[in-house]
Amino acid sequence: MVGLKYFQGIKFRRRHIYVEQTGAKIAWDGALLRNAWAVLKFNLYIAISRAFKERSAPPKTIAFHPQKSGPWYNSWLAARLLGLKTCADMAKADYVFAFDDSTHSEIDPAWPQATINGKAADISKQHVGRVFKQVFGYDLTVDPLTYAGEMAQKSNFNGLHDGRVVRGPLAPSAIKQGYVYQKLIDTRAAGPQTEDLRAICIMGEIAVVFHKFKALEKRFGTDYAQVNVTEVQSCFSSQEQADILTFCEEMNIDFGALDILRDIHDGRIYIVDVNKTGMPVLSLRLKDQIKAFDSIVASFKRGLSAIDSAALSKV
């Protein structure tokens, strides 16, 4: 029954799973079962690898608050691979991770200054568009009343994957409340596929990039035709890497995932979504998942070491 604590905020319905924090509905289907097996398999790998590691000192602790981080989230998996032990009391924990699936999160003044993601209050697509323009100097968000051409219409809220293509300009009556309108980024690869880049950014580093290919008609979803674990340098220029990390700073993202698209016409990159409680790419083979998390854990370890050093300097 201990594992039930991870399902707080998750409702099991006859035809789907409902996630309260985001409003997402996940259908009971083959994809869900495959993803559950991928999570279980990777957690078994972690349990076995931890069993063979020698410990010279008691493990450090990490508290996830206000929401529990389950064993299907990047943060939980990285913490386990680092040998950290979860702790319910953040006052007693060595590290605190502000964990909340919600689009808008309240900043708790009781959190320690070094709380991971402790200042990430807004990951709405509207806010993403504003910060993106501020950092990169060009627009992602468009005005649907005046923009002539294809646009991506998406919910402003996190985790719904409900994007669709519409053509502007739109009449005022056609504009949906609670939605944003973005430039439709053309990422078509060879054949009827699109390309996405998911960058995992951790405490001032781009740890790893997932190069994802999707069928054109599924461009807004999470059904991947192929995913490759790639080096950061092969995806982004030095200036783009610097701008991505500046964007994270402005968004107050210490540990999160950015969905980035490169337009085949202008060659520019566009950060279209931010997730501060991301999950791994579950379609990867186990050896590729291990490769990706080797990089994630290395960045996380360096970031936690920086927190430790800063704490020592204040003593």
Asked if pLDDT for residue 16 goes beyond 60, the answer is no
pLDDT single digits (tens) 193-246: 899 999 999 999 999 999 999 888 888 777 788 899 999 999 999 999 999 999
pTM of the predicted structure, to 2 decimals: 0.87
Q: How far apart are CA 137 and CA 271, in angstroms?
A: 12
**296-301 — which CB contacts under 8 Å span 24+ positions?**
296/74, 296/78, 296/200, 296/202, 296/207, 296/208, 297/78, 297/81, 297/82, 298/207, 299/200, 299/202, 299/203, 299/205, 299/207, 300/78, 300/79, 300/82, 300/202, 300/203, 300/207, 300/255, 301/82
- Largest pairwise CA distance in the chain: 66
8 Å CB contact between 150 and 165 = yes
Average pLDDT of the chain?
Answer: 86
Residue 141's pLDDT is what?
96
**What's the pLDDT band for 32 if we cut at 50, 70, 90?**
low
**What's the pLDDT band for 38 if we cut at 50, 70, 90?**
confident
Q: Exposed, middle or buried, 289 (CB in 10 Å: 0-12/13-18/19+)?
A: buried
pLDDT single digits (tens) 77-87: 999 999 999 99
Residue 75's pLDDT is what?
94
